[in-house]
Chains A and B, each alone.
Chain A
């Protein structure tokens, strides 16, 4: 079959052909970029935090009438209150372990600081988030120690919330260790936090910083564990429930804390913001809510766009078939088989869609460049465009099939009818 008759026929429908080509091109451009955005958001959501999130929950509470935390005596008092709470939580039947923490990954509350290699360095070598806790932090959070050792109980100190942070030893994430010492020999080295020397005694495989906002993107895996209990008028407890007992433990924890000391606030609202006992799954869902919403929206838009374009092709081709019934009849009468007619419309669609996807590929890259400029988006991999091209060509063939089949069923007798 030659393409000549198809081209000749298309010339008679310039406006229709242009419109359908344009629609395919625009659809490809938008769908490619939308799918790319979905891919990026899904990657973000699926980043492992580095802690074992199963059966983990977080209790945030605040004491009423607590000591001020301004002097040694009241800091000690706050410290014993915190330790009493940890003991209460550990004694619950459904609880495996519990620790006091200042924050956790995905909990948007960050204490960050610069880490330097020399005491008098003007600009720190790496920015990092600090996690304060005890030697129980590594096992309770399920962190994977890949080198060195955990803290010992003798190394654990405590200080007021606004106190001076001078830990003798620290544990860092592998990412931070490699950033500070690119040769990968961070273990045992001395670094400086707020001009105070400290020794790296352990390296954990991975631990995300608390913030998922873009300002933390460049140091997202730089976390430091500090062997210090932080004492303030409020506290956070990371609690690991026994397998399968998460719900029961989450119900029991606030009751037990109130029973041991009723002078405190543990909120129990319905919304995430209005309650202070959260399972880690809830924390993860909340932290990435905007990303999930965006991915779903983009998905819906893509789906509808493909449907609209498919329906448009069906509509336009149906019309062309209706218009050409007589010509089809003549071709059939002159010896063209049903398959020939089917092929004719499929080839025609392939040509239109082919021009559309080439134009669309250019538009897609252009749109991506514009989005990069306007919204600090990354460069889209060409794979997205190639997959999009294939999807649209298949969509075109799928959409054209029904009207083309109807065309192939046109009887040769139609050629003899005058109307």
Chain B
């Protein structure tokens, strides 16, 4: 029976080529637009640390002066988990979490050792020892530095594989030196490919939210001693920023890893106690603290550009119109065939057989629309990749989206086919036959 219905559907498409083409095209466009925007949205709102995002937390404190009328929640939306060097170091050295790392971004000037090569800029991260273990950074050679190296302000560095390829031709460069901002840093490790999306740790530090990973990692204390400029400095008082380590300015972000909800509760209490202690010392004036986990933090920072969400919403509105359009056209087509239905019914076809026949016809429109939608989605993503956005190069159709295209197409077309199919199966055969 199925084969017969398919044959009937194909015959019906042949009779109304323009109408059929129109339905498939409209459905394809709607699906293509929806899948394109959905792929971008999924890419932008991905989980940067899939295995441990629920265990990584961002401590947030409010250092603003007493007369500040900024609500802490508003402050954190703007600042996130950045704080002064003093506070970050105090919290870091308390060792109250399983792992903790402080960090700041800095543009680094790298000078190749080979003669004739021009120096170039790269992205650097000044951080502390636990960064690599906490954020699951893989290593090709060597490893990170020790906490003692940081405290000693040792000039040691971890470089990314890409920079290692550029400077050392991909060979094991552990023990070699890299010249960063006119200082020699000894390489202790070469990190493998590591570029979480979104770049959650860069969000509050003035870095870009998506795109490539960083090239050079060095101890926060050493970079600070060598006067490397952090990307983002927010001062809450007139400040002498020649000595950033003691200035009333937030420029270091802190991340902690906590094993369980109980640990998180305990850490939040510790954070409150720390702030209370600083209030009694006269340094702080606001007791509020926050400890969002990674997912909540990304939501709080509104990392996903609102344009992307807006586009996805509009694309679904677009799909809705395309489905309504298809329903209308399918209905027109099927009512035109009342006579054919009458004949079939008179010859013994049951209502459910008619219903099935028309549903199969709409499903075929759906599958064709899905294939076309896939083509449009690839075209749309190709266009996205050629946009100068940070995330552009990451926009590819993945397998799940590929499957979703067909599910969406099929559901859309079946929903669109319901009304016409029902109308077709309630056609009374007698009047139709009389007219012949």
Contacts and interface: CB of A to CB of B under 8 A. Distances in A.
B310 A375 contact: yes
A312 B419 contact: no
B322 interface: yes
B82 interface: no
Interface string B306-321: 1101110111011011
Contacts of A34: 314
A367 B313 CA distance: 11
A316 B310 contact: no
Given A64-B182, A68-B227, A312-B329, A26 B324 contact: yes
Contact of A16 (B227, B311, B332): B332
A353 B318 CA distance: 19
Interface stretch (A95-103, A156-164, A218-226, A383-391): A156-164
Contacts of A123: 67, 69
B324 A267 contact: no
Interface string B392-436: 000000000000000000000000000100010000000000011
Given A20-B328, A301-B314, A65 B182 contact: yes
A289 B118 CA distance: 30
Nearest to A326: B435
B303 to A, nearest CB: 14
A371 B314 CA distance: 10
B26 interface: yes
Interface in B260-308: 305-307
Contacts of A320: 332
Interface of A: 15-16, 19-20, 22-23, 26-27, 29-30, 33-34, 37, 62, 64-66, 68, 70, 122-123, 160-164, 194-195, 215, 264-265, 267, 271-272, 286, 289-290, 293-294, 297-298, 301, 304-305, 308-309, 311-312, 315-316, 319-320, 322-323, 367, 371, 374-376, 419
Contacts of B389: 289-290, 293
Query: Which secondary structure dominates where chain A touches chain B?
Result: helix
A377 to B, nearest CB: 8
17 contacts: A16-B335, A26-B320, A27-B321, A64-B111, A64-B119, A65-B182, A123-B69, A160-B242, A272-B388, A290-B305, A297-B311, A301-B314, A301-B318, A304-B29, A305-B318, A320-B332, A374-B310
Contact of B306 (A62, A160, A298, A375): A375
Contacts, number: 128
B336 interface: yes
Nearest to A308: B26
Given A16-B335, A22-B324, 4 more contacts: A19-B327, A123-B69, A271-B388, A316-B328
B331 A30 contact: no
Nearest to B238: A194
Contacts of B118: 265
A339 to B, nearest CB: 26
A311 to B, nearest CB: 5
A267 B332 contact: no
Closest 5 CB pairs of A and B: A319-B332, A19-B328, A312-B325, A162-B241, A162-B242
B328 A290 contact: no
Contact of A319 (B29, B120, B242, B333): B333
